[in-house]
Amino acid sequence: MVATWNWRRKMLFLPRLEKLQDFGRIFLLVLEILYGEEWAVFFSFVFMNERLLQYIWQQQLFNKDSLVTLKGEPLQIIHPGVLNRNQGPDFLQASIRIGSTRWVGNIELHVLSSHWVSHGHEKDEFYNNVILHVVWQADKDIVLRFPTLMLSNRVSMSLLNRYDQLSASTGFIPCANQISGVPAIIKENFFERCFAERLEAKARQIAALLPQTNGSWDEVSWLMLAKQFGQPVNELAFGELAASLSWKTIARHRFNPIQIEALLFGQTRLLQIKSSQDYIMLLQKEYRFLRKKIKLFPIHFPLKFMRMRPANFPSVRLAQLAALIAREPSLFNRIIQLKNRSEVYAFFNLEISPYWQYHYRPGDKEKFRPKHPGKSFCHHLIINLIAPLKFCHGLMLNDDTEKAGAINLLCQLPPEDNCISRNFIRIGVKPVSAADTQALIHLKHHYCNQLKCLQCAIGHSIIKSS
């Protein structure tokens, strides 16, 4: 009667088969239903991987009561060791006690005991200091000078099922259905970590530009500024533009706004049109002269206008960029002095030349429309240019005040509105600032999309709760 009831109870969970993606997982579930958890765990080696096994060992997520080696020797784990991400054993500097003897050394993990031989470790000097071989399943008797511990009979099947649910999920993020149950303190702490990782990654990208520009912060600022004025759609084209015109070159002409516009619009091939408008013909004439004088070659990436509001047209952004160049003798010094949103708004309150007040594209019909950079565009520049630049400079000078200023800028901004932030809101994660949305973007791209649930504190909490 009890067996029949257990069978019927477990049958209620069969709808979850719709979420499983291969026959192997169905096979394990059937084994669990028919023969119990022990049999399912026994055959789970087919679907076990070393990354999960490392996680189980690192977090000690197994029954440690009365541990014994395959030879029946009593085993105590004093310290599991430090995960090794380089060549050699999986865990270093571990400490164990076998019988009455304490051992200190390295630990190697394998799904099957026979992998020790198939991986050639017995001939590798990096494995000379191994003190324990940890395996999921002992499929073959291997003669080793150190003991072997098998874990398959000490790990809960519910833990494996929880990991399987995460890795097989097809939702927005693997834990979309479970994240609401994770304690707030765990989520907040990991979001802070993701925010720091994203800001540091951007700072590393900026630092990598310095050797390419002979250490010129103005050149780095120009390269970054131009790319961000292109926004995501035209970022590559604007980046190529900045690379074709160094800051040193274009700054020589900053007292002549017409020449600056001629260089920017000419290099992006926007002047390759037939026009009877005097201003366009003047820009074409100036560009022909400057191109020959400076020996310039127009960029290859075409500018994109489709599915874009006229205020965001690349031609409008180029006109605004020209106005900024004409006004600022040193980009970098001015950018790192910006401390809050109001100063950023004032800095990018640009007066473009009269022609562009009446036109969205070279040669089009006249219609007056003011074209000042809006607040949302300024927020884009704070997130992708100003804050990373200030943070990178603070890192290189070891200036905590400047780094804190960069972080505060992002914390002052409202959250970004994009598909990632909207989907996180849908599953109950509501950002309150741009710092939060930057953290969520990093989480999505570098953890969720890559199924790094084992390296994520949120995923760890979900798996461990089983």
Per-residue tens of pLDDT for the chain, all 466 residues: 333 334 333 333 434 434 434 445 555 555 455 555 554 455 455 568 888 999 999 989 999 999 999 999 999 999 999 999 899 999 999 999 999 999 999 999 999 999 999 999 988 999 999 999 999 988 888 889 999 999 988 888 788 888 888 887 888 999 999 999 999 999 999 999 999 999 999 999 999 999 999 999 999 999 999 999 999 999 999 999 999 999 999 999 989 999 999 999 999 999 999 999 999 999 999 999 999 999 999 999 999 999 899 999 999 999 999 999 999 989 999 999 999 999 999 999 999 999 999 999 998 887 888 888 999 999 999 999 999 999 999 999 999 999 999 999 999 999 999 999 999 999 999 999 999 999 999 999 999 998 899 899 999 999 887 5
What pLDDT was estimated at residue 34? 57
What pLDDT was estimated at residue 364? 87
142 is in which domain, residue-wise?
16-167
Same domain (yes/no): 280, 372:
yes
What pLDDT was estimated at residue 466? 59
Distance separating alpha carbons of residues 27 and 40, to the nearest angstrom? 8
What pLDDT was estimated at residue 240? 96
What pLDDT was estimated at residue 30? 55
Same domain (yes/no): 152, 42:
yes
Find tokens 């950018």 and name the residue: 335
In a domain, 177, yes or no: no
Same domain (yes/no): 207, 66:
no
Enclosing H/E stretch for 48: none
Same domain (yes/no): 163, 203:
no
Count CA within 13 A, CB hemisphere, residue 373: 29
Among 117, 151, 167, which residue terminates a domain? 167
In a domain, 448, yes or no: no
Three-point CA angle 345, 347, 350, nearest 5°: 90
Would you say 457 and 439 are in contact if contact means Cβ atoms under 8 Å apart? no
Same domain (yes/no): 283, 215:
yes
Distance separating alpha carbons of residues 190 and 195, to the nearest angstrom? 9
Same domain (yes/no): 127, 214:
no
Distance separating alpha carbons of residues 455 and 466, to the nearest angstrom? 17
Same domain (yes/no): 161, 203:
no
What pLDDT was estimated at residue 6? 42
Same domain (yes/no): 159, 221:
no
Among 167, 189, 212, which residue terminates a domain? 167
Same domain (yes/no): 143, 43:
yes
Per the structure, the count of domains in the chain is: 2
In a domain, 437, yes or no: no
What pLDDT was estimated at residue 16? 42
What pLDDT was estimated at residue 374? 92
What pLDDT was estimated at residue 265? 97
Same domain (yes/no): 140, 203:
no
What pLDDT was estimated at residue 184? 95
Same domain (yes/no): 303, 254:
yes
Three-point CA angle 44, 50, 56, nearest 5°: 80
Same domain (yes/no): 33, 96:
yes
What pLDDT was estimated at residue 365? 82
Among 145, 167, 189, which residue terminates a domain? 167
